[in-house]
Amino acid sequence: MDTKNKIKIGISLGDFNGIGPEVILKTLADNRILNYCNPVIYGSGQIINKMRKNLGLEGFSFQQYQTAETLEAKRVNVINCWDEDYELTPGKPTPESGKAALRSLQAACQDLKSGWLDGLVTAPIDKDNIQAEDFKFPGHTEYLTSFFDSPESLMFLVSDKLRVATVTGHIPLKDVVHKLTPELLIIKLNLLLGSLQKDFGIQKPRIAVLGLNPHAGEKGLLGKEEEEIILPALNQLKNKGHLIFGPYPADGFFGTGHHAQVDAVLAMYHDQGLIPFKTLAFETGVNFTAGLPIVRTSPDHGTAYDIAGKNLARETSFREALFLACDIIRKRQAVALPSI
């Protein structure tokens, strides 16, 4: 194994009073992960030690650093992002856990931008608790889009059963209809097409697009957005030869299993796509931010304060997020290699 060229994956700790540290440590406690990538946790050795003891993972070892410039290829690495000895209060977010989550994320993003890392896996944050002068975003996706100077990005939920992207993300439902335009739909569809080709190796993707209204508007009886906004965008891309279908009524589409016949589904808003996705793939689903110059994934769950500190959290989604990040990085690296 060429350890020098092993993929370096930054891991932001998330809110340490949620289940983030637990799913991270349970994933990395399997030493076989070190054959796959070089994991770098951004947080605090003190927090990791406390969580290690709480989980009974006494055999879990790691190397601490202040910078990512020099890392141990055969160990789990921890970058200390703060010196304070913060107290763990599982299930109860504190100002300290919000501040720590932001420091972790900022440090990991900066090292990723500087080229010390190949990709990023983010543990869950408390979207309210992390708010600060330098974080006024509704979530990771919007922060990363801004930090990496991308004009747009795409929330893309991925599993072996289903891929679902959303046109709008973390905005109130009442604002969705005002956000939707043919231009935005075309942007999001192009991002989805590009990601399926570049990141998943699907040369001619098939994409199903959901309607906004019940029964996809019922030919205008239940809403005109399908005819006035969605169809013009779909037709424009169809005319360019893309395999894009819809708009489909969301309930019947998933209820009849049509999602299994396409490579990805584009939903109009957050819950329209994430409810069926989490119903079908909650244990193994991954949240991937498509359209960025960097690779970022995360588990498809939140901080789960109700089970934090009880050793009940399952690490399957976080592990899948780590594997998917590595897979996409390898695909992008292979494309970037010069042909011989």
Alpha helices in the chain (DSSP H): 20-28, 45-55, 95-113, 140-147, 173-179, 182-198, 225, 231-238, 250-255, 270-281, 316-336
Burial class (CB in 10 A: 0-12, 13-18, 19+), 43: buried
**Which residue reads 């994956």 in tokens?**
9
In CATH terms, the superfamily for domain 153-289 is: Isopropylmalate Dehydrogenase (3.40.718.10)
Residue 339 pLDDT exceeds 90? no
Residue 31 pLDDT exceeds 60? yes
Q: Parallel, antiparallel, or unpaired for β 163-166 and 154-158?
A: antiparallel
DSSP class of residue 267 equals E
- Is 121 in contact with 10 (CB distance < 8 Å)? yes
Residue 83 three-state SS: coil
Q: For helices 20-28 and 316-336, give the axis angle rounded to 10 degrees.
A: 70
pLDDT in tens, 38-68: 999 999 999 999 999 999 998 899 999 988 8
Tell me the average pLDDT across 206-234: 91
What is the amino acid identity at position 273?
G
Residue 286 pLDDT exceeds 60? yes
Separation between Cα atoms, residue 59 and residue 47, nearest integer Å: 16
Alpha helices in 239-315 (DSSP H): 250-255, 270-281
The pLDDT value recorded for residue 2 is 46
pTM over 0.75: yes
Spatial CA neighbour of 182 closest among 245, 268, 259: 268
**Residue range 1-150+292-340, CATH number:** 3.40.718.10
Q: Parallel, antiparallel, or unpaired for β 8-12 and 243-248?
A: unpaired
Separation between Cα atoms, residue 333 and residue 340, nearest integer Å: 15
Look over the chain and give the mean of its residue pLDDT values, rounded to a whole number.
Answer: 93
What Cα–Cα distance (Å) separates residue 31 from each residue in 27, 39, 106, 194? 9, 11, 27, 34
Residue 1 pLDDT exceeds 50? no
For CATH 3.40.718.10, list the domain ranges present in the chain.
1-150+292-340, 153-289
Spatial CA neighbour of 301 closest among 44, 109, 15, 31: 15
Separation between Cα atoms, residue 135 and residue 138, nearest integer Å: 9
Q: What share of the chain has pLDDT > 90, as a percent?
A: 86
